[in-house]
Structure 1
Amino acid sequence: MNDCLANIRRAVNGMSANERKLAEFILNNASLLRDYSSQQLAEAVGVSQSSVVKFSQKLGYRGYPALKLAVSEELARGSAQVDLSQMQKPVGEHEAGTVFEELAQTKADVVRGIAELNGEEALLEVVRTIEKANRIQFVAAGGYSLVVKDFALKLMIMGKSVVAESDPFVQKANLASMRRGDVLFALSVSGQNSHVNELAEAAKEAGVTIVSLTKYDVNPLSLMSDYSLFTFDERSGPAAASSAPHIIARVALQHLIDALYLVLSSRNTHGRELVTLSQQAVEDI
C-alpha cells in the first residue's frame, strides 16, 4: 500500500461515522500518528480500541501498527529529498550534537515502535514457553546470529538447555533429536529464509513448539509458528530510520531480545543471580 493517505481520502465518503472520525483524524494529524498507540488514538477520536483495529484491517492492513508504519513511510517519502540530503551527509559534515540528537530520536522511535508491534501478553506467552521448554534451539538468518547467541548464552547461564549453533548441518542434526516439549526459536526478518523455514517445518512435524521473530507482515515463518514476535526490517520502521536502516534493524532486534530477558530474569531470581555471578567472573579475568 504505497499511497495509504490517498486511499483513506478516496474511501472516506463511504465510511461509517466512527470510521470517518478515524480517517479525518489521521488525515489531519498524519505526522503525529507515530506517537499514538491504538488506545491513545481511540481515546483521541472517541471510539473503541477495537474500532481502530477494524478500521486498519478494512484498509487492508494486518492491524493498527502496520497502518501506522505505512503512514510514516509515506510521509518519509514525501520529505525524502530534504531528509536524505541532511541525514546522508558524511559524519564529518554534521555538527556532533546534531548526530547524537538525531540518532537518539531515531532509537526512541524504534523503541516505541517495537512496543506497539509486540504487546505485553505476546512477550509473556513467549517467556512462559521458554520457561517450560525442555530444550531450546536458536536459528537466525542474516547477520543477527550474534544478538541471538548473546540471549542464548544468558539462558544457558540461567540453567536452560540451549543450542545456538550457526552451522546449518549442526542445526539440522540438533533438530533431529528434538521432541514435543522442546522449542525452536527461529529468527528471519523477512520470514522467507528457505533454510530457517525448512527447519521450522521439520520442527512442526516433530511436535516442537515454534517461536518466530520476523518483520510485521504475513510471511511463511510467522504463519507456521505457535508464537510470533515482530521487529522492523531494514526497509521499514520509523520514518527517521531511512538513512541508517542497518542500525535501526539491529536496535529493534536488540531491544526486543532485551525485553524478553528482563521479563525472564524478573520471574527467575536464581537465574538472575547466576547471570550476575557469571558477569562478575568474566570481569575478574
Structure 2
Amino acid sequence: MSKDILSVIQSNMATFSKGQKLIANFILESYDKAAFMTASKLGKTVKVSESTVVRFAAELGYDGYPAMQKALQEMIRSKLTTIQRIEVSNDRIGDHDILSMVMQSDVEKIHMTMDEMNREEFSQSVDAIVNARHIYILGVRSAAALASFLGFYFNLIFEQVTIVHTTSISEVFEQLLRIGPGDVIIGISFPRYSRRTVTAMQFAHDRGATAIALTDSETSPLVQYSTHRLLAKSDMASFVDSLVAPLSLINALIVSIGRKKNEDLSKTFADLERIWDEYEVYEKVEASH
C-alpha cells in the first residue's frame, strides 16, 4: 500500500465499527506511539480486543497487523523528534529490565538484518570497493563513529581512502571535488537522516561514482542516489541510536574485503610488524642513554 496510512484511515473513518474507530482515532492522534505497540498493547490501550486490532489492519488492506505496523514505522522513520523518541522509548520500556530489553532488541535487529540482507547486493558492494580507484566514506552525527571505524580498517587495506570530515556542506564538496567514475562513496546514515550525507551521495552519483548506501530502509533518502544499498536495522524510537546491526554489517564487509585483498593485507601487517619492532628497539636504545 503506497498511500499514506493516515490518509487511508481518515478517508475510511465512516465505514469503521465503534471499536475500529477507537483504534483509528488513537493512531491519528498518537501514531508515533502506535507504530511501536504490539497488537495486544494497542488493543489494551484503546480498550478493544487484540482480534479487533488485527481485523482493523485487514480492513485497511494489510496482510496482518505487522504489515500495518511496518507501514506506520516507515511513514514516521525520519519524522520523530528527540522528545518523541524519549517518550516512545519510555512507553516501550515501562517497568521492564532496561538492560535485558535493550540488549535483546539489539540481538533481534542483528537477526533481522541477517535474514533480510540481499546477498547479491552485498557481494556487488564488496567487488565495487575492491576495484575502486579511490574510496570516500561519509557519516555524520552518530554515524561518524561508524565511518571512522570503517575508515580505520580500510586504510590498512587500501592506499586511497578518504574519510570525509565535515561541519558544513561546502566542506563536503571541497573533499569530493575530484570524485568521479571508478571511485566509490560509502554514505552512512540512519534516522534522523543527515541532509549533508544525502547531498554528498547525490553529488557523487551525478559525477559518475559508485554510491553505496549503508542505511536502514529502502525508503531512506540515500537509496535514490545509490548504486548499491546495504540495509541494517536500527532503532529510531530510542533517543540513543542503536547501531549494533550496522556495525555488525560493517564487520562483515571488512572481513569479506580482507579475504579478497589477503595478499595486500598480509604485506601491510608484515610492514607494520617490522616498524613496531624497529620502534621498540629504538625505545630500548634511547632508554639506555
Task: Flag whether TM exceeds 0.5 (same fold).
Answer: yes
Aligned to 1:231: 232
> What is the CA RMSD across the aligned residues, in angstroms?
3.8
Q: Which amino acid aligns with 2:108?
A: D
What are the Cα deviations for residues 209-239 of structure 1, in whole angstroms up to 9, with x where unaligned?
Answer: 1111122141321112111112234425xxx
SS in structure 1 of the partner of residue 138 of structure 2: strand
Structure 2 counterpart of 1:202? 203
Note if contact 2:234-2:243 (Cα within 8 Å) is conserved in structure 1.
no
The aligned runs of 1:161-200 (5 Å cut-off) are 161-167=160-166, 168=168, 169-190=170-191, 192-200=193-201
Matching residue of 2:47: none
1:149 is aligned to 148
TM-score normalised by the chain length of structure 2: 0.61
Shift of 1:191: 7.3
Task: State the shift of 1:131 in Å.
Answer: 1.1
DSSP-derived class of the 2:204 partner: helix
Distance 1:109 1:192, change over 3 A: closer
Q: Give 1:130-145 correspondences, 5 Å limit.
A: 130-145=129-144
What are the within-5 Å matches in structure 2 for residues 1-285 of structure 1? 8-10=54-56, 23=64, 83-88=93-98, 99=99, 105-167=104-166, 168=168, 169-190=170-191, 192-235=193-236, 246=240, 249-274=242-267, 276-277=269-270
SS in 2 for 1:249: coil
Pair 179,106 (structure 1): closer, same or farther in 2 beyond 3 Å = same
Uncovered stretches (5+) of structure 1, i.e. residues with no partner: 31-55, 67-76, 89-98, 237-241
CA–CA distance in structure 2, aligned partners of residues 251 and 283 of structure 1: 32
Q: Shift of residue 282 of structure 1?
A: 9.0
Q: What is the CA-CA distance between 1:185 and the residue it aligns to?
A: 0.9
Q: In the aligned structure 1, how far is the partner of 2:103 from the partner of 2:141? A: 25
Change in 2 beyond 3 A, CA 1:148/1:179: same
Q: 1: distance between equivalents of 2:273 and 2:109?
A: 31
Q: Call closer, same or farther: CA 1:14–1:162 in 2, change over 3 Å.
A: closer
Identify if the C-alpha distance between structure 1 residues 226 and 81 changes in structure 2 by more than 3 Å, giving closer, same or farther.
closer
Query: Between Structure 1 and Structure 2, whose CA radius of gyration is higher?
Result: 2
**Deviation, structure 1 residue 81:** 5.9
Residue aligned with 2:96, SS: helix
Change in Cα spacing, 1:178 to 1:82, as seen in structure 2 (3 Å) is closer
Alpha-carbon distance in 1 for matches of 2:70, 2:96: 31
Stretches of structure 2 that go unaligned for 5 or more consecutive residues are 6-30, 40-51, 75-86, 281-289
Distance 1:224 1:61, change over 3 A: farther
Whole-Å Cα distance in 1 between the matches of residues 60 and 206 of structure 2?
Answer: 46
Deviation (angstroms), 1:132? 1.5
Q: Are the aligned partners of 1:191 and 1:222 in contact in 2 as well (CA < 8 Å)?
A: no
Task: Report % sequence identity.
Answer: 14
Cα pair distance change 1:184/1:277, threshold 3 Å: same
Tell me if the contact between 1:138 and 1:186 (Cα under 8 Å) persists in the aligned partners. yes
Farther-moved stretch of structure 1 (249-258 vs 189-198): 189-198
Q: In the aligned structure 2, how far is the partner of 1:278 from the partner of 1:9?
A: 65
**By how many angstroms is 1:135 displaced?**
0.6
Q: Is the 8 A contact 1:158 1:270 kept in 2?
A: no
Report the residue type matching 2:126 in the other structure: V
1:61 CA drift (Å): 6.0
* Bigger Cα displacement from structure 2, 107-116 vs 219-228: 107-116
Distance between the aligned counterparts of 1:282 and 1:252, measured in 2?
35
Deviations 1:129-179 (A, max 9, x none): 101111111111212223212212222221241100312444322211111
CA drift at 1:126: 0.8
Which residue is 2:22 aligned to?
none
Displacement of 1:207:
0.9
SS of residue matched to 1:85:
coil
